Amino acid sequence: MRERIWAPLLLLPLLLPPPLWGGPPDSPRRELELELELEPGPLQPFDLLYASGAAAYYSGDYERAVRDLEAALRSHRRLREIRTRCARHCGARHPLPPPPPGEGPGAELPLFRSLLGRARCYRSCETQRLGGPASRHRVSEDVRSDFQRRVPYNYLQRAYIKLNQLEKAVEAAHTFFVANPEHMEMQQNIENYRATAGVEALQLVDREAKPHMESYNAGVKHYEADDFEMAIKHFEQALREYFAEDIECRTLCEGPQRFEEYEYLGYKAGLYEAIADHYMQVLVCQHECVRELATRPGRLSPIENFLPLHYDYLQFAYYRVGEYVKALECAKAYLLCHPDDEDVLDNVDYYESLLDDSIDPASIEAREDLTMFVKRHKLESELIKSAAEGLGFSYTEPNYWIRYGGRQDENRVPSGVNVEGAEVHGFSMGKKLSPKIDRDLREGGPLLYENITFVYNSEQLNGTQRVLLDNVLSEEQCRELHSVASGIMLVGDGYRGKTSPHTPNEKFEGATVLKALKSGYEGRVPLKSARLFYDISEKARRIVESYFMLNSTLYFSYTHMVCRTALSGQQDRRNDLSHPIHADNCLLDPEANECWKEPPAYTFRDYSALLYMNDDFEGGEFIFTEMDAKTVTASIKPKCGRMISFSSGGENPHGVKAVTKGKRCAVALWFTLDPLYRELERIQADEVIAILDQEQQGKHELNINPKDEL
Ligand SMILES: *[C@@H]1O[C@H](CO)[C@@H](O)[C@H](O)[C@H]1NC(C)=O
Ligand SMILES: *[C@@H]1O[C@H](CO)[C@@H](O)[C@H](O)[C@H]1NC(C)=O
Ligand SMILES: *[C@@H]1O[C@H](CO)[C@@H](O)[C@H](O)[C@H]1NC(C)=O
């Protein structure tokens, strides 16, 4: 498929100074005008403000950092507003299609007159409102991505802290965290700030919240609390906001496009091809707004079936408050997206039977808002598909309403409601998801090696797919590995001397198997000890594969020896963790109680194991928690030869408590069932081992044949 081009912030680099533009296109937003008053003169480009805010932060000028970063965020918002408003204004002034053309020569002129008029209008509108040429507001890909990921809020929260403005810091930290839920340090910060400020009751504000998402969430909450009046109010509000946001999204698609497949200079398309090329990018982008609007900040996957779900909730809520006509309209609207949905078809019959005799059921149609929406959506699909065929690019229409093909009960029928006689009316009341593992849950397979002691299974560890074993290493092996760790980490491997990426109160050092073997080969550590690291990781892999009774090969995905050392003088009243709570193959979202299996998580990891080497330190317990990342369900004290292993998904959130004294070392292993994600370093390590074995063999042979030596 041709890359989806998303270029909302690049403005048309239009050329000439505009004629004055008279009058606002529609009711002005008061906020916007206020800002205009506060910041007279041309709108400063947000990338410049961002750069100067970040520079001020690094130079310790926190007041200026806050001022410029806040201005950057305002400028970024205003730019969006201006573009949307200009698009609406110019669209209304220069409608397409124009009045019907006459026959004969020049019949196409009215269309082009409208196009040219609209272009002129855009240029003048934007230049006017931006106080200068729109091209000043072009930004690099990096800056755009930073704003999408809300990185400016990360600087802001730190700057506000320095200025001792705790409430604003909490706000900024939370706003950042919402779009970066894997960033556990931020969550910790928020807790700390709130505790320090004594603002524990303070409501967390997401400054970039999308109204349509907020209203939807509120609707679901009321719905689940059986408060149907309020649910209706919020879902109706959510729909109005959704359609407004949809217009904005589509407008932003009309920005400049990038033609990555063409050498710009070699691009010699004629008039209609050039228009078609550009228009197709815009159209695909607009078509994709369905996904854009269903996707929460910082996520790649949309909420499944998002828009239709509004109508699904509403049909039932209206039924519960006795508004059968509206219930019917919503149910029929839902069927526009899922015409074969048997439950809703049953509901339609049932609602029709409840109607007053004076009302003809056939006269009640699907709600107009969704009817129009779906009609356009289908037209767009057809247009894109036929153009794709004709113009020779491939396009596969995503399934916009359901991701996994089949109907998913827990998503389709709003959950958690108890209705008498529910079955009679065909409501299936799926319970909301607890994390699922899509493979047979088995455990208790043989441990393969003598001397290994079984300690706890999943049940004893209060979870699923967990196991604790002892004596996987002997005391001597622990000592040997420990010396490898010291030896390698001494020579440095990038982590050396750095504080932990997870906490500023510990030093963090690590080494991979390949690194160990290289160090061994270079004589920095005994080769035999480096090889031990290789061998014990293979031992761990075999045990995990066997214990969980996996019937396909378990591959290494990443292996790492890690030591965490408490930094002295920084351990008083520490309340952070050595390694924050996380899951290994998904992004834990404690507020939503979900774990999103999508990048940047290592989604291909299937099993994890930690093999401990020592116990002469304080703190550093390994803990499992609930998905809230707070409630500890099991706690394990490391010691030499102890191994904890578990499946890598949202069912096993875990972390490491602060190491408050001494040095804690462990071998961390992640495994995958997908050969595509085999660890490359491991394959290289295998090769090194093979070479070493050959050399050994060679020496051996030399020993047998001493006369060759002369
Ligand atoms: C098991 O333990 C015994 C006695 O401690 C020891 O001699 C033997 O080498 C161990 N086996 C393995 C595979 O470590
Ligand atoms: C693994 O075992 C299950 C049944 O226990 C079977 O359905 C599945 O096909 C097996 N997978 C492989 C790769 O052998
Ligand atoms: C499992 O939960 C029980 C009850 O809360 C607790 O006593 C026990 O210590 C937990 N198991 C582990 C290994 O922490």
**Ligand 2 atom having least distance to the Cα of 552:** 13
Q: Is residue 270 helix, strand or coil?
A: coil
3-state SS assignment for residue 580: strand
Asked whether the beta carbons of 608 and 205 are under 8 A apart, the reply is: no
Ligand 2 site-directed mutation target among 551, 553, 555, 674, most atoms within 8 Å of CB: 551
CA–CA gap between residue 550 and residue 556 (Å, rounded): 14
Output 686 or 454, whichever has higher pLDDT. Answer: 454
State in Å: Cα 578 to ligand 1 middle.
34
pLDDT digits (tens, 9 = 90+) for 188-222: 677 777 777 665 556 678 999 999 999 998 999 89
446 assigned to some structural domain: no
Residue 414: pLDDT over 50: no
Query: What pLDDT shows up at residue 182?
Result: 58
Residue 581 has pLDDT above 60, yes or no: yes
Asked if the model's pLDDT at residue 321 lies above 80, the reply is: yes
Ligand 1 closest atom vs CA 474 = 14
Instruction: Answer whether 552 contacts ligand 2 (Cβ < 6 A).
Output: yes
| Nearest-10 crossing angle of helices 211-224, 306-320 | 40
Q: Which of left, alpha, beta for 469 (phi over 0: left; psi -120 to 50: alpha)?
A: beta
pLDDT at 267 over 90: no
- Residue ending a domain, among 402, 428, 457, is 402
- CA of 543 from ligand 3 middle (Å) equals 24
Highest mean pLDDT among 390-404, 575-589, 629-643: 629-643
Same domain, yes or no: 172 and 239 = no
pLDDT of 21 reads 33
Look at residue 365 and tell me if it is in a domain. Answer: yes
Q: Please name the residue whose Cα sits nearest to atom 14 of ligand 3.
A: 634
Q: Flag whether 29 is in a domain.
A: no
Residue scoring higher pLDDT (598 or 213): 213
Cα–Cα nearest to 295, from 235, 232, 249, 240: 249
Lowest mean pLDDT among 57-71, 118-132, 137-151, 219-233: 137-151
Judge if the beta carbon of residue 634 lies within 6 A of ligand 3.
yes
Confirm whether pTM is higher than 0.85: no
440 touches ligand 2 (CB under 6 Å): yes
Report the separation in Å between the CA atom of 551 and the middle of ligand 2, taken as the mean of its atom positions: 6
Residue 215 in domain: yes
Residue whose Cα lies nearest atom 9 of ligand 2: it is 551
Options 74, 150, 320, 664, the catalytic residue: 664
Q: Looking at ligand 1, which residue's alpha carbon is closest to its atom 6?
A: 451
Residue 298 is predicted with a pLDDT of: 67
Q: How does the average pLDDT of the chain come out, rounded? A: 79
pLDDT tier at 637 (50, 70, 90 boundaries)? very high
Question: Which stretch, 116-130, 391-405, 499-513, 683-697, has highest mean pLDDT?
Answer: 116-130
- Give yes or no: residues 215 and 174 share one domain: no
Lowest-confidence range among 1-5, 123-127, 236-240, 545-549? Answer: 1-5
Rounded Cα distance between 216 and 212, Å, is 6
Q: Between residues 5 and 144, which one has the greater pLDDT?
A: 144
Phi/psi region, residue 289 (left: phi>0; alpha: psi -120 to 50; beta: rest), is alpha
* Statement to judge: residues 203 and 237 lie in one domain: no
Q: Any residues with Cβ below 6 Å from ligand 1, and which?
A: 449-451, 474
What is the model's pLDDT at position 71?
A: 96
Atom of ligand 1 nearest to the CA of 451: 1
Considering the domain architecture, whether residues 227 and 273 belong to the same structural domain is answered as yes
Confidence at residue 457, expressed as pLDDT on a 0 to 100 scale: 94
Q: Residue 194 contacts by C-beta under 8 Å, 6 or more apart in sequence? A: 166, 170, 200, 202
**Which of 448, 449, 450, 538 is the pocket-test mutation for ligand 1 (most atoms within 8 Å of CB)?**
450
Asked if residue 648 and residue 661 are part of one domain, the reply reads: yes
Domain count, the chain: 3
Helix (H, G, I), strand (E, B) or coil at 245: helix
Same-domain pairing of 586 and 617? yes
**Span from the CA of 552 to the centroid of ligand 2 (angstroms):** 8
For the cut 80, the answer to whether the pLDDT of residue 578 exceeds it is no
Which ligand is located closest to the Cα atom of residue 473?
1
Residue closest to 655 by CA, chosen among 627, 616, 614, 679: 627
User: Which residue's C-alpha comes closest to atom 13 of ligand 1?
Assistant: 450
Mean pLDDT of 479-492: 77
Report CA(634)–ligand 3 centroid distance (Å).
5
The residue whose CA has the least distance to atom 2 of ligand 2 is 551
Same domain, yes or no, for 146 and 221? no
Residue 420, in any domain of the structure? no
In terms of domains, do 277 and 375 share one? yes
Q: Is 306 domain-assigned?
A: yes
Domain that holds residue 141: 1-17+40-99+108-210
Split at pLDDT 50, 70, 90, the class of 240 is: very high
Q: Is 108 in the pocket of ligand 2 (CB under 6 A)?
A: no
Give the position, in ligand 1's atom list, of the atom nearest the Cα of 450.
Answer: 13
CATH number for the domain spanning 673: value is 2.60.120
Give pLDDT, residue 300: 60
Is 664 designated active site? Answer: yes
Where does the pLDDT of residue 573 fall: very low under 50, low under 70, confident under 90, or very high at 90 and above? Answer: low
Residue % of the chain over a pLDDT of 90: 37
What's the pLDDT at 34?
A: 40
Residue 247 scores a pLDDT above 70: yes
Give the pLDDT score at 198.
67
Identify whether residues 239 and 330 lie together within a single domain. yes
The pLDDT of residue 700: 54
Closest Cα to atom 10, ligand 1: which residue?
Answer: 451
**Which residue has better confidence, 25 or 156?**
156
| 178 has a pLDDT exceeding 50 | yes
pLDDT of residue 201: 58
Residues 143 and 218 in one domain: no
Q: Identify whether residues 201 and 244 lie together within a single domain.
A: no
Report pLDDT for 616: 93
